[in-house]
Structure 1
Amino acid sequence: MAFRKALKGTVIIGTGAAAALLGLSQLSEYRKTQARLAYVAAEGELQQPFKDELPTRQAQLSTLQNTEEFDVLVIGGGATGSGCALDAVTRNLKTALVERNDFSSGTSSRSTKLIHGGVRYLQKAIMKLDYEQYMMVKEALHERSNLLDIAPHLSAPLPIMLPVYKWWQLPYYWAGIKMYDLVAGVQCLKSSYVLSKKKALELFPMLKKDKLVGAIVYYDGQHNDARMNLAIALTAARHGAAMANYTEVVHLLKKTDAGTGKEKVCGARCRDVVTGNEFDVRAKCVINATGPFTDSLRKMDDVKNANICQPSAGVHIVIPGYYSPDNMGLLDPATSDGRVIFFLPWEKMTIAGTTDTPTEVTAHPIPMEEDINFILNEVRNYLSPDVEVRRGDVLAAWSGIRPLVTDPNSKDTQSICRNHIVHISDSGLLHTCGGKWTTYRSMAEETLDAAVSAHGLGGGPSKTVGLMLEGGKDWSPTMYIRLVQDYGLENEVAQHLAATYGGKAFEVAKMARVTGKRWPIVGKRLFLYFEMGYRSRSEQLTNTSEITLDTQEVARYSDLTN
């Protein structure tokens, strides 16, 4: 915690000076410098050896089975769980993580692909003078900046247009967006600005012209959520965490505490889904980071535990790229039922969403037709009548289950927590749930702070602010040119590798020389044959005899090799 406070102090001290001496045009470079200093400081405090070559899945399973006791066992390989593992192992705690499917196979790969502070939360904070909402936005904006810095190959700022159709709304929205910039302070990505009707239509020609007054453009971050999640998990593994996917928890292990006489959770009985082999993993602290499945593990601990998760379905659709400009998103701030809809470019396609409707917890949630039609109707409201929005244009759709939670520590158990909760049960099992993608790191830090305090783990403060993720350290915006020059790759292929693997892209490109097959188009998406070999060997998605693609690259290996 001391390191985090020291870093924040540095930023706060420098903010006023930066604004006065450097000017707005240099704030971005100043922020990057601070991030680099944070990374150097964080890396310098680490004691775990950084692994040049990742252990195979079999080696990780062997570590899980043969280690007498871990300090921390994390259950769940989504963004929060992987973030907890990275936070724990970089505190020099002996760390393990198990995930019953692929890393990021659930909610963490089914997001809006945004790294954002939450414009609508800031609006509520101002309108209701709600300090808690304000602090949520401030924290998220800090985390947005950090995430863009530690994984530059997987994320980038994205301009988002807010079209205005009533004159009185123009100063109202402008004031709100400028407040968003102000709260971000030195971590503001780029300053927001106002557009005339003519200029707005030049940048977003698909917009409905009738009654359009103008538009406001602000900046948030966009990222490849599935790859980002995997980058966090791989970084944890490189720092020494034992990480195994396709490993499910059968039941929790307990022992009687000599001091209190109560049963305490001390690990988990696990099953290798691939082989069916079962084994015990013992740990001083067990963390439940299973997202929508939080209550399943709570009841595994104690069947009498009440449900605290209130799952909500967030549906997104993918439509052709001609529905939006290549590098400009759109925000509908007030849909027909009061929800916010984003309309964003994504890998030459367009993503539209999200919904927010109560749902049942399932491993494979299916988008409902009414949710798809709701999004399409909202899209029609903002696009020109010349653009026919058709149901047949929906190329894909997904539903992610957002794990909204009620705080079991609160007297008002019916109220949904606005952010996230960290709760320790009587058995010592630690639950972390809620939150959003952007704040996964701060959520993990709070979780490990609680774990260290409750279980006396030691290990020191969190060191993850500024800590570069897998592939981020050696990436540069022009590195794809070297891939073209050194490996003879097509420009599109080189850009794909650089954006997907960052500094590790050269290792992937080397495999192009090993295989005779080059690169097909899988569905509507570029996918390389030699990527599969790299992912199987170096990213430990499963064992080496089986290749599983991540959620956003749904294609069967047999389909590619036939």
Structure 2
Amino acid sequence: MCLAVALTAARHGATVCNHVEVKELLKKDENGKKVLCGAKVKDHISGREFTVKAKCIINATGPFTDFIRKMDNPNVKTICCPSSGVHIVLPGYYSPDQMGLLDPSTSDGRVIFFLPWQRQTIAGTTDLPCDITHNPSPTEDEIQFILNEIKNYLNTDVEVRRGDVLSAWSGIRPLVSDPNKEDTQSLARNHIVHVSPSNLVTIAGGKWTTYRAMAEHTIDAAIKACNLKPERTEAVTSYLKIEGGQGWTPTMYIRLVQDFGLECEVAQHLAKSYGDRAFAVSKMASLTGKRWPIIGNRIHPEFPYIDAEIRYGVREYACTAVDMIARRLRLAFLNVQAASEALPVIVDLMGEELHWSKDEKEKQIKQANEFLAHEMGQMVNRTSKERIPIKLSKDEIQTYVKRFQLIDKDKKGYVSINDIRRALKSFGDADVSGEQLHEILKEIDTNMNGQVELDEYLQMMSAIKNWRRRIFAFC
């Protein structure tokens, strides 16, 4: 939605800059007082710095509201009280397709919700004071809080497993106190609009569901404070359709299937995500070389995202691989492992569009993997859980390393739980029951992603060996 709003603004004449930071606000003398007249900014893609002139500056920076306010006046009081809200994504079977749940009365008074989303289930949320950062990360305690709460809404025979968390992230809520009021201790329930003595118009607080009203109130304040001359006499936000909405209908996807030869699932995804712009995306799709679908090569077999979306995303201001997996596609939010697996294809396609060198491609993959590891929760557990000791002899370790390499035929660096079950049977370890294996795996799958790497496999075999010793001693 954020992107669609920016594109709509561009269609109506706005200039959009991505990855650009305000470094300094500029002022001039006007009728005996200092008023804002522009800003010095830096483009973090090219490194170039330049100046933007302006009759009015609107500060709509969410959690970073006070950073801009203090550029205007270093002595202003802080009004933003940032709060961390963590969300997790679970497999779709955790919730019905068309039903969500919200409970405002959890064990500690925080709100919990449980919703079907993109064929998966999204659950949240936490509410804790946090520091303002460009790279917020979820913590294991917050993830466990959500998992423990949602157990209350499921049948007792459903095991809520940490390993089912496909992705986890933290968002920063910019809760604010109103600088227009003397009592600034209590936080505003809705948005606030404030105009400083130098005419900095700040819009803060609020939420997505009221963004059009927020925009209208902000522009009204800007017109009044800076004596602007609007082209229209009344606001159009209440009836203006955002980009992609002009020609969209609920059955539009059928035309995509019939006209382009797309898979039905892919066509539905494109229609929901791009609206009537889905036709422009489809025209950029490559031939599959198969009888059906005719066009639309998926970038990951488990998701309906296709190659054309990468090329089209670059035309919609995507500058980095992180932009693509998190802010154009939703892959990073739906499944961090799938996002990591799709990265090489995504970076190759972006590289063709943006003329990236080999070094730049490697840099983009590295940055994207770091983003997935820390901001999308992929590595939360690995650092928080104690390592189980490996009690194997040197010869046993060598044997199990060779077995792991045999199981990992594709050289991925990890094996699945089903791979291990089959291998135990083929190597003559069939006396380990599925339930016992499940309990052991709960202990050794340290990053809880359902994939067992070599060190975890060695821990597992060590645990099985010790389990057998206990059984033998008991007998």
Both proteins in one fold, TM over 0.5: yes
1:245 to 8, 18, 32: 18
1:302 aligns with 2:73: yes
2:269 to 488, 496, 510: 496
Return the letter of the residue paired with 2:344. Answer: S
- Aligned positions of 1:186-225 closer than 5 A: none
CA contact (8 A) 1:319 1:396 kept: yes
Q: 1:415 to 1:546 in 2, by over 3 A?
A: closer
1:313 aligns with 2:91: no
CA contact (8 A) 1:317 1:397 kept: yes
Return the letter of the residue paired with 1:430. Answer: V
2:118 to 333, 337, 347: 347
Q: Give the secondary-structure state (helix, strand or coil) at the position aligned to 2:135.
A: coil
CA contact (8 A) 1:289 1:432 kept: yes
Q: 1:282 to 1:514 in 2, by over 3 A?
A: farther
Q: 1:546 to 1:525 in 2, by over 3 A?
A: closer
CA contact (8 A) 2:299 2:345 kept: no
Q: Which position in structure 2 is the counterpart of 1:466?
A: 239
CA contact (8 A) 1:548 1:557 kept: no
For 1:341 and 1:374, locate their aligned partners in 2 and report how far apart those are by CA, in whole Å.
10
Q: Which position in structure 2 is the counterpart of 1:507?
A: 280
Q: CA deviation at 1:271?
A: 1.4
Q: CA deviation at 1:522?
A: 3.7
For 2:301 and 2:218, locate their aligned partners in 1 and report how far apart those are by CA, in whole Å.
40
1:447 aligns with 2:218: yes
Return the letter of the residue paired with 1:307. Answer: T
1:230 aligns with 2:3: yes
For 2:215 and 2:106, locate their aligned partners in 1 and report how far apart those are by CA, in whole Å.
33
CA contact (8 A) 2:299 2:346 kept: no
CA contact (8 A) 1:511 1:530 kept: yes
Q: CA deviation at 1:273?
A: 1.4
Q: Which position in structure 1 is the counterpart of 2:319?
A: 542
Q: CA deviation at 1:347?
A: 0.9
For 1:457 and 1:357, locate their aligned partners in 2 and report how far apart those are by CA, in whole Å.
40
1:480 aligns with 2:253: yes
For 2:197 and 2:301, locate their aligned partners in 1 and report how far apart those are by CA, in whole Å.
50
Per-residue deviation, residues 55-76 of structure 1 (Å, max 9, x unmatched): xxxxxxxxxxxxxxxxxxxxxx
Q: 1:514 to 1:299 in 2, by over 3 A?
A: farther
Q: 1:389 to 1:514 in 2, by over 3 A?
A: closer
Q: Give the secondary-structure state (helix, strand or coil) at the position aligned to 2:16.
A: strand
Q: TM-score, normalised by structure 1?
A: 0.56
Per-residue deviation, residues 357-380 of structure 1 (Å, max 9, x unmatched): 111101111112111111111101
Q: How many residues align?
A: 331
1:530 aligns with 2:316: no
Q: CA deviation at 1:557?
A: 4.9
Return the letter of the residue paired with 2:331. Answer: E
Q: Which position in structure 1 is the counterpart of 2:331?
A: 553
For 1:281 and 1:413, locate their aligned partners in 2 and report how far apart those are by CA, in whole Å.
33
Percent identity at matched positions? 59
CA contact (8 A) 1:519 1:526 kept: no
Q: 1:361 to 1:492 in 2, by over 3 A?
A: same
CA contact (8 A) 1:532 1:547 kept: no
Q: Which position in structure 2 is the counterpart of 1:150?
A: none
Q: Which position in structure 1 is the counterpart of 2:335?
A: none
Q: 1:523 to 1:343 in 2, by over 3 A?
A: farther
Per-residue deviation, residues 440-488 of structure 1 (Å, max 9, x unmatched): 1101100110110111112132111121111111011111111111111
Q: Give the secondary-structure state (helix, strand or coil) at the position aligned to 1:256.
A: strand
Q: Give the secondary-structure state (helix, strand or coil) at the position aligned to 1:463.
A: coil
Q: CA deviation at 1:323?
A: 0.5
Return the letter of the residue paired with 1:303. Answer: P
CA contact (8 A) 1:515 1:530 kept: no
Q: Give the secondary-structure state (helix, strand or coil) at the position aligned to 1:233.
A: helix
1:384 aligns with 2:155: yes
Return the letter of the residue paired with 1:416. Answer: L
- Aligned positions of 1:77-96 closer than 5 A: none
* Residue range with higher mean Cα deviation, 507-516 or 319-328: 507-516
Q: Which has the higher strand share?
A: 1
Q: Give the secondary-structure state (helix, strand or coil) at the position aligned to 1:242.
A: coil
Per-residue deviation, residues 198-237 of structure 1 (Å, max 9, x unmatched): xxxxxxxxxxxxxxxxxxxxxxxxxxxxxx1111110110
For 1:281 and 1:351, locate their aligned partners in 2 and report how far apart those are by CA, in whole Å.
40
CA contact (8 A) 1:288 1:429 kept: yes
1:255 to 10, 28, 35: 28
Q: Which position in structure 2 is the counterpart of 1:433?
A: 204
Q: Give the secondary-structure state (helix, strand or coil) at the position aligned to 2:113.
A: strand
For 1:313 and 1:487, locate their aligned partners in 2 and report how far apart those are by CA, in whole Å.
43
For 1:561 and 1:413, locate their aligned partners in 2 and report how far apart those are by CA, in whole Å.
47
2:172 to 388, 401, 406: 401
Q: 1:443 to 1:269 in 2, by over 3 A?
A: same
Return the letter of the residue paired with 1:251. Answer: E
Q: TM-score, normalised by structure 2?
A: 0.66
Q: 1:547 to 1:387 in 2, by over 3 A?
A: closer
Q: 1:270 to 1:239 in 2, by over 3 A?
A: same
List structure 1 runs of 4+ shifted beyond 4 angstroms.
513-517
Q: CA deviation at 1:549?
A: 4.1
Per-residue deviation, residues 26-77 of structure 1 (Å, max 9, x unmatched): xxxxxxxxxxxxxxxxxxxxxxxxxxxxxxxxxxxxxxxxxxxxxxxxxxxx
Per-residue deviation, residues 331-357 of structure 1 (Å, max 9, x unmatched): 223111112211000011000111111
CA contact (8 A) 2:286 2:297 kept: no
Q: Which position in structure 2 is the counterpart of 1:271?
A: 42
For 2:343 and 2:299, locate their aligned partners in 1 and report how far apart those are by CA, in whole Å.
13
Q: Which position in structure 1 is the counterpart of 2:470?
A: none
Q: Give the secondary-structure state (helix, strand or coil) at the position aligned to 2:54.
A: strand
CA contact (8 A) 2:66 2:78 kept: yes
Q: Give ranges in structure 2 of 5+ residues lacking alignment.
A: 290-294, 333-338, 349-475
CA contact (8 A) 2:28 2:37 kept: yes
Q: 1:240 to 1:360 in 2, by over 3 A?
A: same
For 1:382 and 1:241, locate their aligned partners in 2 and report how far apart those are by CA, in whole Å.
47
Q: Give the secondary-structure state (helix, strand or coil) at the position aligned to 1:512.
A: coil
For 1:431 and 1:276, locate their aligned partners in 2 and report how far apart those are by CA, in whole Å.
27
Q: 1:450 to 1:279 in 2, by over 3 A?
A: same
For 2:346 and 2:219, locate their aligned partners in 1 and report how far apart those are by CA, in whole Å.
42
Q: 1:547 to 1:369 in 2, by over 3 A?
A: closer
For 2:43 and 2:331, locate their aligned partners in 1 and report how far apart those are by CA, in whole Å.
24
Provide the aligned C-alpha RMSD in A.
Answer: 2.1
Q: 1:446 to 1:352 in 2, by over 3 A?
A: same
1:371 aligns with 2:157: no
1:519 aligns with 2:297: yes
Return the letter of the residue paired with 1:319. Answer: L
Q: CA deviation at 1:546?
A: 11
Q: Give the secondary-structure state (helix, strand or coil) at the position aligned to 1:413.
A: coil
CA contact (8 A) 1:315 1:367 kept: yes
Q: 1:384 to 1:514 in 2, by over 3 A?
A: closer
For 1:462 and 1:380, locate their aligned partners in 2 and report how far apart those are by CA, in whole Å.
47
Q: 1:560 to 1:242 in 2, by over 3 A?
A: closer
